[in-house]
Amino acid sequence: MYETMAVYSFSWAYYLSFIFLTTFAFLNMVIGIVVNVMEAEHADERKEQDMADGVPTIEDLHKEILELKTLIREQQGQPKN
């Protein structure tokens, strides 16, 4: 850095901007990771809360609908698909 400043007196602007931009990018990356982890934890917590409250999930409802369709077909005498 000092060697380039001896030749180009305003080269300090390049180094200073590089440090600021690199710091900004790194800080954004760290914040993004923290937010992503917190979002995943919140989703897991919400899922556990829904299960504790007895609220069925989409997968549970899908399985029940398939079971009901099978029972209706059996009652009507149609073969299973």
Counting the structural domains of the chain, the total is 1
Q: What is the pLDDT of residues 17-41, one digit of tens each?
A: 999 999 999 999 999 999 999 999 9
Q: Is position 71 within any domain?
A: no
Q: Is position 63 within any domain?
A: no
Residue owning tokens 């080269």: 11
State how far Cα 31 lies from the chain centre: 13
Domain hosting residue 31, numbered range: 2-55
User: pLDDT category, 55, cuts 50, 70, 90?
Assistant: confident
For the record, the structure tokens of 51 come out as 């299960």
Q: Is position 22 within any domain?
A: yes
pTM for this entry? 0.52
Q: Is position 81 within any domain?
A: no
pLDDT higher than 70, residue 79:
no
Q: Is position 73 within any domain?
A: no
Contact 5, 12 (CB under 8 A): yes
